[in-house]
Chain A
Amino acid sequence: CIRTVTQPASLFMRVGTAPICAYGQAGCHVPSLADLFDRVIQQSSRMHGISSDLHSEFEQYFLPSKNLIGKRKCHTYGILTPDDKENAQRLGREQLTEVILRLLGAWGDPLSQLYRSMSQDQNQDFNHYSSNKALEISDMVHELRDGVSKMADKMKLLGVLGNTVGYISPEGLVPSSAISFYKRGELNSMDHHDLLYCFRRDSNKVKNYLRILKCTTLPGLDC
């Protein structure tokens, strides 16, 4: 059965999802596109909130990171993203969807590594709660990616989305080991901080793009 995008409230565990019938079997509740949009937007908003919290926790322990204006900071720099409203609106739904999926795909592995590294960190200045948050966002990223895929499929079904959006494999976009962009070898706290800085930004992008996508696709009360 088709896995659904779980509600943000149940994000601490991978919920055994109630099957949503793609084939419209009797007795099944088929969510509408608006429902799907709401779910993914909620989840992305929550994901961004948690990553912001985590980052600010790190921030108090570290001096502001070195000025690396010229240097590329985040491993997703290769993904071209619209950096203002007009550009995002001009991009079009298909490309926007693709950008979203790329971003989400690029962060799956690094976040898992981040969690592993944080939980193994012996001289933890942070409490156990922080590593739980890292686990949470790590899970969320995967779920969100699946959810957006489903939503894209639905949009294609409805004819709202063109077929140019294909399945994007994360490996194709970023180096095989994204983490190695940041540091070779073991990550330390400073690396955690950098990672979180980048992820906070990217999660914000995802949230914004999804909203734009929704309001261009289904303009309504919430926009």
Chain B
Amino acid sequence: MTVCTRMRGHLGLALLLLLSAAVESNSMSPPGKPVLLGCRSPEKETFTCWWEPGSDGGLKTTHRLFYERERLEGKHECPDYRSAGRNSCFFDRDHTSIWVDYHLTVVASNELGNTTSDIFKMDVMEIVKPNTPENVTLLVMKREDNLYLHVRWEPPYNTDTKSGWVTIKYELRVKQEKSNEWKEYTSGTETHINLYNINPGTLYAVQVRCRLDHGSWSEWSNSTSVNTPDYPHNEKLFWILVSMLSAVPFITAMCILVMKRKNVKQYLLPPVPGPKIRGVDVQLLKRGRSEDVINALIINQSFPPMVAWKDQIEEYLIVSDDGLLLDPSSSQKRKKSLIIPAGFHLDLGIQCKEPTPVQRDLQKAEERKNEMDNFVKANTSLTEGNLSDMEPPQPPTQKQLFPIASFVKTTDQSPSKHNSAAENTVKPLANCGYVDIQRHENAKEVDVIEVDYSRVKEVSGDNILILQRGNIPGYMDIQRQKENIPEDYSRVKEVDGDNKVLLQRQNASTDSSCREKGNHYTDCTNQKLRNPHVTGPSKVGVCTELIGSGYVDTIPAPPLM
């Protein structure tokens, strides 16, 4: 039993399957559900709606649009299915109301049945989208060498923009042929616009669109293009030629400059002249021989030539005064910087020169009672070297030469006696810096002016001391003595301190008082028998204050004569 029912069931099923297959091959069914795509009003006065039909079910299917509207009773059908094309419904002005809701439905129907779409609710106010602007024209204009584009168009078709019912606004975009970027401009309600920032020799494309109130923008119009003219070619060529031509002289000038660098440099940056000293030869200086340099530096070229002062070494300083002559054998040192004989003229920086006999006389005439150490230090050492009877082992420093820093000129006040000789023989001394004062052999009655700083009357210039002639109390004129004045520092009796030397007077003719005078010297007028070594003077006057750091050469000078 069950087997039979089961078999019947299976059979039924198979039959059913067969039937359905047959039916499907014929495909007749109620229509599929249409879909309302949307509506659009181009000018806020009419609108159109479109739908998409579903499957037609194999049968002839019709579609109908029905609507209900606010403030309108009943269900109404689309007034116009044709004007807007297939599957559309066009609502003309009479059927269009703004600010009211429409509820739209589309019904698809065929023999087998109806199918209704979903309700589509809309308000015309919200679906406004205008048509595109028309007749877009593009022109290239030129004004005063400026290129600009003039774009002109017309309002969209069938749109009333004059009544104020809608307010239209335009927008355009521009593109150069090479780039892909559009540049947008807003126009407002004007239907033309000028574009100024354009390049020559380019293809420009322009599109325009519009909008009503706050509605949707229209589609862009078709692209309109125009070519802007290029710069005239001859202009470019002209400038190329000009630049090339101007380059040639420029390059030439540069070459010349480079080749004549040195001249240019000299012209622009002239060398600064070096200092010029008259009589000085720069080359000489460069070579660097000191003697020549010194020679070169001498301003007054009238100096007598330098005499080798080697000979002078033999000389020694002799001071004679009042008959008290230095004992050459005395080993007393005598520091003498400068003895200023009357009328003795010592020029500074002059070559050492062997004193002439006259000079020697002069020198001898400068007998001094007291050796004063004056300013010139150097020479004395020379003479000291000559004092042979002095103690030989003297430190070599004794031989120092002190340059003559200055010279002294003495003026004679009593012209009668000694000065004649002195005046006659004014000779420049060597610049080696010592004074060779020799004892005059012929003891003349020479009124030797005691040349010491006590008698300095006047200092003229750097190196001239003008001494007073005449007897100053307290001083003893150095008078020539007839005795042999030893030519050495043997008269130095005692060295007291750094700069004090006690001299011994040989012939105590007169007592004289030593007087300290000035800074540098004192008169020692103590006459005493000469004693080469001054140990204790019998009569010792106050002695000189030696200048500077002089020293007393104890080497006795060999006798000159």
Question: Are A and B a genuine interacting pair, yes or no?
Answer: yes
Leading 10 A-B pairs by shortest Cβ distance? A215-B164, A211-B164, A83-B97, A85-B165, A223-B164, A201-B99, A69-B68, A212-B164, A83-B98, A223-B162
Name which residue of chain A comes closest to B44, CB basis. Answer: A85
Asked if A89 is at the interface (CB within 8 A of a chain B CB), the reply is: yes
Q: Which residue of A lies closest to B165 (CB)?
A: A85
Give every chain B residue within 8 A of A207 (Cβ-Cβ): 213
Q: Take A69-B70, A81-B99, A204-B99 as given contacts and tell me if A211 and B167 are in contact as well, using a CB distance cutoff of 8 Å.
A: yes
Q: Write out, one digit per residue, whether chain B residues 211-229 have a CB within 8 A of any chain A CB (1) or not (0).
A: 0011000000000000000
Contacts of B213 in A (CB 8 A): 207
Whether A52 lies near B99 (C-beta < 8 A) is no
Report which B residues bind A (CB closer than 8 A): 44-45, 68-71, 93, 96-101, 103, 119, 121, 123, 125, 160, 162-165, 167, 189, 213-214
A contact face: mostly helix, strand, loop, or mixed: helix
Closest to B102 in A: A69
Q: Tell me the complex Cα distance, A89–B68, Å.
A: 26
- Choose among B101, B125, B164 the residue that contacts A204 (Cβ–Cβ < 8 A): B125
19 contacts between A and B (CB under 8 A): A49-B214, A67-B103, A67-B121, A69-B69, A73-B70, A83-B98, A84-B45, A85-B44, A85-B163, A88-B165, A201-B123, A207-B213, A208-B165, A211-B164, A212-B163, A215-B164, A222-B164, A222-B189, A223-B163
Q: How far is the CB of B68 from chain A (nearest CB, A)?
A: 5
| Cross-chain contact B68 with A201 (CB below 8 angstroms) | no
Q: Is A186 an interface residue (CB 8 A)?
A: no
A52 contact from B45, B71, B214, Cβ within 8 A: B214
Q: Which residues of B contact A89 (CB under 8 A)?
A: 163
Question: Which residues of B sit under 8 angstroms from A49, Cβ to Cβ?
Answer: 214
- Which residue of B has the minimal Cβ distance to A202? B99
Binary interface encoding of chain A residues 56-92 relative to chain B, with 1 for a CB under 8 A from any of its CBs, else 0: 0000000010010100010000000101111011000
- Chain B proximity of A107: nearest CB distance (Å): 15
Residues of A within 8 A of B160 (CB): 85
Q: In the assembly, what is the distance between CA of A212 and CA of B167, in Å? A: 11
**Is the pair A48, B164 in contact by a Cβ cutoff of 8 Å?**
no
Q: Is A214 an interface residue (CB 8 A)?
A: yes
Closest to A65 in B: B121
Cα distance, A214 to B167, chains bound together (Å): 13
Select which of A64, A84, A215 is within 8 A of B98 by beta carbon. Answer: A84
Which residues of chain B are within 8 angstroms of A73 by Cβ–Cβ distance? 70
A49 to B215: give the CA distance in the assembly, Å: 11
* Cβ-defined contact, A69 with B103, below 8 A: yes
Query: Chain A: which residue is nearest B96 at the CB level?
Result: A84
Residues of A within 8 A of B163 (CB): 85, 89, 212, 215, 223
Closest A residue to B70 using CB positions: A69
Q: B163 — nearest CB in chain A belongs to which residue?
A: A215
Q: Are A211 and B99 in contact (CB under 8 A)?
A: no
| Chain A residues near B98 (CB-CB < 8 A) | 83-84, 208
Answer yes or no: A193 CB below 8 A from chain B CBs: no
How many whole Å from A42's CB to the nearest CB in chain B? 11
When distances are taken between beta carbons in the complex, the residues of chain B under 8 Å from A204 are 99, 125
